[in-house]
Chains A and B, each alone.
Chain A
Amino acid sequence: MNDMRLLERDVDTNDIKIAARDVQVYYGDTHAIKDVNVDIADNTVTAFIGPSGCGKTTFLRCMNRMNDTIDIARVEGVIKIDDEDIYDKNVDPVQLRAKVGMVFQKPNPFPKSIYDNVAYGPKIHGLAKNKAELDDIVENALRRGAIWDEVKDRLQEPGTGLSGGQQQRLCIARAVATEPEVLLMDEPCSALDPIATAQIEELIDELRQNYSVVIVTHSMQQAARVSQKTAFFHLGNLVEYGSTGDIFTNPQDPRTESYITGRIG
C-alpha cells in the first residue's frame, strides 16, 4: 500500500461495468457537469480527483440517481450499467440504488442498533427468508466491512455509539449487506484520522474482489494508494482519465499536471 508500487499495479479486468456518454448535469441554471464520457471497469477501484466544486460528487450521485432527490437537479445524457440505461423510464431508482450502494462523506449510521443498521437493507429488499439467514447476512457484511471482531459482542448497542472510523466501516458493511454490484464512495475518509483511513483503504482494496468501486477523494495520495484508474475533474469537465500510474507519473493534460503537483486546486 504505498506509492512505490504504482507502476506495478494493473487493472485486473477490462469488463466495462458503467458507461457514461455525454452526461450533463444542471442545478437550476448552473451547468455542473459538462460532456462527461467515461467507462468504469468491473472489479476495479476508480478514483475521481479534482478541486472542490469540480463536479466529482455530482457525477458520482448520477450513477445511483441520488440526484433525483434534489428538486432542482437535471441530468442529461446516457449512463449505462451493464448495458442498461439507468435513466430509462422503466428503471425504478429504488431498485437501482439497491444494486449501486453508496457510502457517504460523513459516517451516517441510523439511530438504531448495530445489527439493525446492517439488517436494514436486507430487510427492506426481502433478502433473508428467516432470522437465521438474516443473522448470517449481517455477520458476513460486518466481516466484509472489517468490523465484525470489534462489534460482535455488542450488536444490540446503538450504531451511533461507535467511533468515527468504526461508524464508517459500519456504513460500508451496511452498503455491502444489500449485495450491490457497484459501490460508490463519496470521500469516505475525509472525517477520519490516519489510522481509521488506513483501515478503510485496506478494506476498499479487498472489496475490489467483488465489486466495482468508485471513490471520490480530495487526497491525491489516497487516490494513488487505492485506485487502479483515476479520473481528473476540473470545473465540471472530465479532463483526463486513465490508469492511476499514468495519471500520476505521466499526465497528458497541463491542468492535470498542475493539480497533482499542487499548483492549482
Chain B
Amino acid sequence: MPVFWIFVIITGLAAAGYVLGRGRALASAGGDQRNLHSLPSYYGSNAAIFTFVPAFLILLIWLVLQPIFISLTVQANIPDSVVPEGSTIGLVMSDVRRLADGLDTAVSQGVITDDYARSVRVDLTDIRARLGEAGVALGSNLTSEIMIAAQRFRSMTNTGNLIKTIVVLLIALGGLGYALSRTQKDFRARNTVEATVRVLLIVAASIAILTTIGIVLSLIFNTIEFFFLYPIGDFFGSLTWSPSFGGGSDLGVWPLLWGTLYISVIALLVAVPIGLFSAIYLSEYASPAVRSVAKPMLEVLAGIPTIVYGLFALLTVGPMLVDAFGDDGYLGLGWMQGGTAVMTAGLVMGIMLIPFVSSLSDDIINAVPQAMRDGSLGLGATHSETVRQVILPAALPGIVGAVLLAASRAIGETMIVVLGAGAAARISANPFDAMTTITAKIVSQLTGDADFASPEVLVAFALGMTLFVITLGLNVFALYIVRKYREQYE
C-alpha cells in the first residue's frame, strides 16, 4: 500500500478517535460535561493524538530505515567478483536498484508479469529487450548476479512494505484502543494535550536550529576541502581574483570583500539618514492620519523583490548616473565608464534598506516612554530639541542595532549587485567603477560548468563562509549593543 494511503488511513482513524473519545468521555459523565475533568474536545484530541502520533512516527522511522537495511542485506550477498576493476560496490548497488525499479515499472505497465519478474534469468531470456519495451534502459553489464540481487531487492522491499503497512495500522489501532480505554470522566486529558502541544512547539523550534547547524556544518566541511586544494594563505593574501576553469586560478578574496564593503557602505550612507529621518517624522511629527497612510506605503518598499530593484538599478539609475558622471555627462567629469558601478548598486540597495531602517527605528522610538517626552517638553524644550537630546539618545542602542541588521542585509544582498554593480573584481577607490561582491561571485562560480571538486567551484563555499562570519559577527554585535543598553530608560 502506498505511503500516502497509509497516511490517509491513520489520519482517518485519528479523526474517528476524536469523535469516539469525545463521545465516550461524555457518556462516562452521564452526558453532563461539568462532571468531566477536562472539556470533551480534550478527550477527543487525546484519542486522536494517541492514534496518529505513534503510528506516524513509526512510519517515518520505517521509511528511513527500510531502504538502508535492505541495501545492506542485498549488498552482503553480492560476491566480490561481480565488482569490476576500478568500480565500487556502491556503483554495483545503484545498478541493482535501477534494475529493481525497472522490473517494477515493467510489471506495473503489464509488459511482464510479477511471477516472470521474480523468476526471470538473464542467461535464458533477453530481459534487456523486454524491459526496453517498457521504456526502461539498462546499463551495460547485466550479469545474473545483479539480476538475482535485484530480484532479492524487490522481494525484500515488497515484504517490508507489507509488514510496514500492517505494523503501522496495528499501532494506530492499538493507540486508539489504549486511549479509548483510558477515557473516562476522571482522566486528565487536558494535561496530555498540553504536553503534546509543548512537544510540537519544541520540534518546530529544533527543526529551525538543526537546519542552521546543518548548513553551517556543510559550509565548514566544504571550506576545509577547498583549503586542501587551494592554500589558505593565497585566499586571504592575494589581491587578485581571476578564476580560470582550466586551472591555475588566482582566488584572492580581497577584491570581492572590497566591493562588498564599498557597496554596503554607500547603501548605508543612503539608507541610514533617510530611514532614520522618516522614522522620526512618522513617530514624532506625523498626525495619526498621515502615519496610517505613510507607514504602510514605506513598508511596501520592503515587499518589492530585490530582482526588481536590480532592474531599476540596471535600467534607470545606471543610465541616469552615466548621464551625469559619464564621459559625455553634463557634469563633464568623465568618472563613469558604464552604467554598472558601485554607486549604482549602492544607491539602489540604500533605497531597498530605507524601510528596513525606518520601520525598526520607528518601533524603537515609539518604545521610548512618553514620560521622557513630557519631561523634556515640561522643561521648555522644543520638539526637535526633545527629539535630538532626549529621544534619540534613549533610542540609540536600538537604532544602532537596526543599522547593523541593515548592514548585514546589505552585505548579503545579491540580485541588485549582479545587475547593478558589474562583474569586474577589482580594488579601486572610484565609486563609479564597476566592481563585484562576494555574493555575485558565489553565483557565477557555482553556475559555471566546472568539475564540482575543483577549487574554482569549491571557493564558493569559502566565500560563503567568509560572508557568513561577517554577517554573524555583525548580528552578534548588534544584539550585544541592543541588550547592553536596552534597560537604560526603564
* A interface residues with partner B (beta carbon < 8 Å): 64, 66, 69, 71, 94-99, 101-102, 104, 106, 108-112, 120-121, 124-125, 158, 160, 171, 174-175, 178
Question: Nearest Cβ in chain A — how far from B381, in angstroms?
Answer: 5
A101 CA to B374 CA in the complex, in Å? Answer: 11
Q: Which residues of A contact B382 (CB under 8 A)?
A: 94, 124
CB atoms of B488 and A111 under 8 A apart = yes
A36 CA to B158 CA in the complex, in Å? Answer: 93
With A69-B373, A108-B375, A158-B488 already in contact, the answer to whether A125 and B380 are too (CB < 8 A) is yes
Say which one of B325-333, B351-359, B389-397, B460-468 lies at the interface with A: B389-397
Q: Which of B372, B380, B381, B393 has the most CB of A within 10 A?
A: B380
CB atoms of B375 and A104 under 8 A apart = yes
User: Residue B288 at the A interface, CB < 8 A?
Assistant: yes
CB atoms of A98 and B369 under 8 A apart = no
Among A94, A99, A102, contact of B381 (Cβ-Cβ < 8 Å): A94
CB atoms of B371 and A97 under 8 A apart = no
Q: Which residues of B contact A125 (CB under 8 A)?
A: 380
User: Residue B447 at the A interface, CB < 8 A?
Assistant: no
Chain B interface, number of residues (Cβ within 8 angstroms): 23
A96 CA to B390 CA in the complex, in Å? Answer: 20
CB atoms of B379 and A98 under 8 A apart = yes
Q: Which of B287, B373, B375, B389 has the most CB of A within 10 A?
A: B375
Q: Which residues of B contact A96 (CB under 8 A)?
A: 380
With A71-B288, A108-B369, A110-B394 already in contact, the answer to whether A66 and B378 are too (CB < 8 A) is yes
User: Residue B376 at the A interface, CB < 8 A?
Assistant: yes
User: Residue B114 at the A interface, CB < 8 A?
Assistant: no
Q: Which residues of A contact B390 (CB under 8 A)?
A: 110, 120
Q: Which residues of B contact A64 (CB under 8 A)?
A: 378
Q: Which residues of A contact B377 (CB under 8 A)?
A: 66, 69, 97
User: Residue B186 at the A interface, CB < 8 A?
Assistant: no
CB atoms of A120 and B379 under 8 A apart = yes
CB atoms of B394 and A97 under 8 A apart = no
User: Residue B194 at the A interface, CB < 8 A?
Assistant: no
CB atoms of B371 and A104 under 8 A apart = yes
Among A71, A97, A158, contact of B378 (Cβ-Cβ < 8 Å): A97
Q: Which residues of B contact A106 (CB under 8 A)?
A: 371
Please, which residue of chain B has its CB at the minimum distance from the CB of A122? B379
CB atoms of B379 and A97 under 8 A apart = yes
Question: Nearest Cβ in chain A — how far from B379, in angstroms?
Answer: 4
Q: Which residues of B contact A95 (CB under 8 A)?
A: 380
Please, which residue of chain A has its CB at the minimum distance from the CB of B389? A120
Among A66, A69, A111, A178, contact of B489 (Cβ-Cβ < 8 Å): A111
With A111-B393, A111-B489, A160-B489 already in contact, the answer to whether A69 and B375 are too (CB < 8 A) is no
Q: Which of A71, A110, A158 has the most CB of B within 10 A?
A: A110
Please, which residue of chain A has its CB at the minimum distance from the CB of B382? A94
User: Residue B133 at the A interface, CB < 8 A?
Assistant: no
Counting residue pairs across A and B whose Cβ atoms lie within 8 Å, the total is 75
Please, which residue of chain B has its CB at the minimum distance from the CB of A64? B378
Among B372, B379, B490, contact of A178 (Cβ-Cβ < 8 Å): B379
CB atoms of A121 and B379 under 8 A apart = yes
Please, which residue of chain B has its CB at the minimum distance from the CB of A98? B380
CB atoms of B489 and A101 under 8 A apart = no
With A106-B371, A111-B394, A160-B489 already in contact, the answer to whether A174 and B379 are too (CB < 8 A) is yes
A111 CA to B488 CA in the complex, in Å? Answer: 6
With A94-B380, A121-B379 already in contact, the answer to whether A108 and B287 are too (CB < 8 A) is no
22 contacts between A and B (CB under 8 A): A66-B378, A69-B373, A69-B374, A69-B377, A94-B380, A94-B381, A95-B380, A97-B380, A98-B379, A104-B374, A104-B375, A108-B369, A109-B375, A111-B488, A111-B489, A120-B376, A120-B390, A124-B381, A124-B382, A124-B385, A174-B375, A178-B379
Q: Interface digits, B258-301 against A, CB 8 Å rule (1 contact, 0 not)?
A: 00000000000000000000000000000110000000000000
Question: Nearest Cβ in chain B — how far from A69, in angstroms?
Answer: 6
A106 CA to B372 CA in the complex, in Å? Answer: 11
Question: Nearest Cβ in chain B — how far from A207, in angstroms?
Answer: 16
Q: Which residues of A contact B378 (CB under 8 A)?
A: 64, 66, 97, 101-102, 104, 175
A121 CA to B378 CA in the complex, in Å? Answer: 10
A171 CA to B369 CA in the complex, in Å? Answer: 16
Among A71, A110, A160, contact of B376 (Cβ-Cβ < 8 Å): A110
Please, which residue of chain A has its CB at the minimum distance from the CB of B381? A124
Q: Interface digits, B338-381 against A, CB 8 Å rule (1 contact, 0 not)?
A: 00000000000000000000000000000001011111111111
Q: Which residues of B contact A110 (CB under 8 A)?
A: 372, 375-376, 390, 393-394
Q: Which residues of B contact A111 (CB under 8 A)?
A: 372, 393-394, 488-489
Given contacts A69-B373, A94-B381, A124-B382, 15 further A-B contacts (CB under 8 A): A64-B378, A66-B377, A69-B377, A97-B378, A98-B380, A101-B379, A102-B378, A110-B390, A110-B393, A112-B393, A120-B381, A121-B379, A121-B380, A124-B379, A160-B490
Please, which residue of chain B has its CB at the minimum distance from the CB of A120? B379
A124 CA to B385 CA in the complex, in Å? Answer: 8
